[in-house]
Amino acid sequence: MKVSFVDQIDDAYSDAEKSGKWVDYQAQRRLSSRINDVLDTAYKSAKNECFEPAIEASFEILRRNIKLISHNDDSCGYLGDILNEAIRLLHDIAEQDMDSDSREFFMGCCRKHLKDKAFTGWGLHIDLYELLVALAHTPAECSQLTKEIEKDKRFSDEWYADDQLKFICKLTEKSEGREAAMQFMMQNLQVEDFRKQAIDIAINAKDLAQAYQLGEEGIIQDEKQHPGRVSTWNAYLLKTAQAEGNTERIFTYARKLYLDHYNVEGDFYAIIKANVPQDQWSEFALQLAEDALHHGKSELFAEICVQENWHQRLMDYVKQVLDIRMLRKYENLLLVHHRQEIIDCYIRYIWHVMEGYRCRSTYQEVCRNLRHIHQLGAGQRVISIADELRVKYPRCPALLEELSRLQITY
């Protein structure tokens, strides 16, 4: 079976490369189909506890595929899918209860390919070390692997620095226990996941002072080098405040997150509203809307206007900034009481775009807006504007051509 896997893989890649250095997408599709058949058989082999042929097949596919993908266009994603499936199979096997010979064989393959230059530049050393961490069982194996990870210069790249520490932490837990791993984690709180775990542990232990401290220190640590993480720590501070039932702090952190959140989800507006006295809410909402504008968050301002039924305030803002996207988004809501103002905004926008760079796409956009205005019930104005455009831009044949296609009556 071992030879069969290798032969099938070699035949598949050799056939794909027969046309020359560049392999077109049809050849890639055929290759993908053949390699998927090999991987399916390898999955079955591993399921039947025949691990080594499946492991060897996966690594051979990775080696051949990296060579191929390095100098071919993979726009259709066939080669990338092969890569991902081969890696997925290795991770699946690493989770199996293997005999010692198969496990040692697997670890030897990982170490061999960590040194393989063909794998350089693909970030696959992370997957290979992740496999080795999963495969390491004894304290001696964990200690040896920790030394290898510490010495690997690829982890000196800031991009991989956190991975290095996460691997060492897992190995520490395997070899020395949970308490030792916790100590290591607390000594390396620059790792985002470590700080998250530390805060969760503090909250669960009701040590809210520690949770607050860890969150605030996270903001100080990351606000310059990793500003996107500030939202993460504000979210954890909000979680801590909710665990404490501290209304003032809940409001403070929810407000920060509402005005500026990155990669964090939650209905922060509802949280704010639930923690402000009802008789004070109108004043708070107005201040929040002004703060949104001050932070350049026009969409948040619009959302508050919608939430609070401030339709006139929203209409006034749209007219002021002439934000056509916002107008289109909230048009149906505003039409009931502001139809004429909406029509006027579209007309202003038409003249605005005609004052800038113009091409056929500009004229097509103008005509789309004219048709829309007509649908809103302003047929006479559309005809007048079209006539004005013909008079003002008589030497723009593309514009005149697009206007001739309007076919609008009133």
Distances (CA, A) of 246 to 193, 239, 363: 25, 10, 57
Interval 173-221: pLDDT, tens: 999 999 999 999 999 999 999 999 999 999 999 999 999 999 999 999 9
Write down the pLDDT at residue 241.
97
- Between 110 and 121, where is the model more confident? 110
User: What's the number of domains the chain is made of?
Assistant: 1
Q: Which uninterrupted H or E stretch holds 382?
A: helix 379-392
Is 137 within a domain? no
Is 367 within a domain? yes
pTM: 0.81
How many Cα atoms occupy the beta-carbon half-sphere of 48 within 13 Å?
10
Is 32 within a domain? no
pLDDT at 276 over 90: yes
Is 4 within a domain? no
Interval 5-47: pLDDT, tens: 888 999 999 999 887 778 898 999 999 999 999 999 999 999 9
Write down the pLDDT at residue 116.
83
- List the domain range (segments joined by +) for residue 395: 337-404
CB atoms within 10 A of CB 343: 19
Please give the Cα distance from 171 to 183 (Å, whole number).
13
Is 368 within a domain? yes
Interval 123-174: pLDDT, tens: 899 999 999 999 999 999 999 999 999 999 999 888 899 999 999 999 999 9
DSSP string computed for 91-155: HHHHTS---HHHHHHHHHHHHHHHS-GGGTTTTHHHHHHHHHHHH--SHHHHHHHHHHHHH-GGG
The pLDDT mean for the chain works out to 93
Write down the pLDDT at residue 122.
84
Share of the chain above pLDDT 70, in %: 98
Is 370 within a domain? yes
CA angle, 57 then 61 then 67, to 5°: 150
Is 387 within a domain? yes
